[in-house]
Amino acid sequence: MARPDKAAAVAELTDLFRESNAAVLTEYRGLTVAQLKKLRVALRGNATYAVVKNTLTAIAAKEAGLTGLDDELAGPSAIAFVTGDPVEAAKGLRDFAKANPALVIKGGVLDGRALTAADVNKLADLESREVLLAKAAGAMKAKLYQAAYVFTANTAQAARVIDALRQKQESEGAAA
């Protein structure tokens, strides 16, 4: 029979897994409380960072319908539950891990798909959502401009030909 406090912890973790669009599993062995506080501040707005118990996390992940975390749940574990932009959260974790080598990114989950540590680093290498949207908008604008140019090219060319003929007739009429 499960103890009520453990059942409540599993229910809370299950809710966090369901509400977040991504989760990044890390090992924090060797980090001080002050460093963990800095990490939480760096992730604020995009993610919440919580130290978790491996057994309870495995149960909560199964209840939330997530697979792929069981192999990574060993040693002292903490999870960044991402509710904002996953790219920004991955960048924050990667940058903090570079500054503090004791933080090890083990893997994660993005939209129900398991991620390896390399996948999380690739995600961190992506540009932010706003930059990608701006690039897509610029590409669409360029294509629309090209289409407009193609549609008006024939009429503009015809207008130039007609103007050249008019000028030629005027010059021939003045010469005669």
Instruction: Write down the pLDDT at residue 176.
Output: 60
Answer for the pair 66, 14: CB distance below 8 angstroms, yes or no.
Answer: no
User: Are 37 and 72 within one domain?
Assistant: yes
Residue 105 has, within 13 A of its CA and on its CB side, a CA count of: 27
Average pLDDT over residues 45-63: 83
- What is the pLDDT confidence band of residue 113, given thresholds at 50, 70 and 90? confident
User: Are 111 and 140 within one domain?
Assistant: no
Closest CA to 14 of 74, 46, 60, 83: 60
User: Are 40 and 105 within one domain?
Assistant: yes
Strands (E), 14-148: 22-27, 47-52, 77-82, 104-110, 113-116
Please give the model's pTM, rounded to 2 decimal places: 0.67
Task: Say which residue, 70 or 134, is predicted with more confidence.
Answer: 134
Residue 23 has, within 13 A of its CA and on its CB side, a CA count of: 29
Mean pLDDT, rounded, of the chain: 81
User: What letter does residue 84 receive in the DSSP assignment?
Assistant: S
User: Are 78 and 142 within one domain?
Assistant: no
Domain extent for 76: 3-126
CATH code, domain carrying 21: 3.30.70.1730
Query: What are the pLDDT digits (tens) for 72-96?
Result: 777 788 888 888 788 888 888 888 8
Average pLDDT over residues 159-173: 84
User: Are 80 and 145 within one domain?
Assistant: no
Instruction: Write down the pLDDT at residue 1.
Output: 42
pLDDT exceeds cutoff 50 at 100: yes
pLDDT exceeds cutoff 60 at 27: yes
